[in-house]
Amino acid sequence: MTEERNGVRRKAPRLPTRIEGSLRGRTQKGVTIVDLSLTGCLVRCGSLLDHGAILDLDLHLEPDPIGTKVRVTEASLDGAAPPGGPPQYLAGLQFLGLSAREEARLRRFFEEERRRRGADTSP
């Protein structure tokens, strides 16, 4: 199933979430994953990422983080950031090198989280 956003068709369903993580390139940055799919994610961070940059992402899932290479597909100022604080940025990241084991783990997390959320909304 694909989803549509601003006329662009998405390849995979997305899950709003809040998972801490880190990005590594020349430096390491803390990020919060705010939207997750099996092909990528949207992160909030304290600096603007360069479009096209290849970085290492660690998603801090229990019991062990999932690590993969990612490509920055879009980056912008977060208009929803609280006023008066430091600027926050959003970046779309495409997963590039997820191992089969980590892909299966991410798929299990994704399905369990969607199932849990479905159960939370039942009467």
Residue 72 · residue 93 · CB < 8 Å:
yes
Query: Burial level of 77, CB count in 10 A (0-12/13-18/19+)?
Result: exposed
d(CA 99, CA 76): 29
Residue 45's domain is classified under what CATH number? 2.40.10.220
Secondary structure of residue 44 in the 3-state scheme: strand
Kindly tell me if the per-residue pLDDT of 50 is higher than 50.
yes
pLDDT, tens digit, 9 for 90 and up, residues 17-32: 999 999 998 899 999 9
Q: In the chain, how many domains are there?
A: 1
Number of H helices, E strands in the chain: 1, 8
What value does the mean pLDDT of the chain take? 85
- Whether the full predicted model's pTM is greater than 0.85, yes or no, is no
Domain that holds residue 43: 4-120
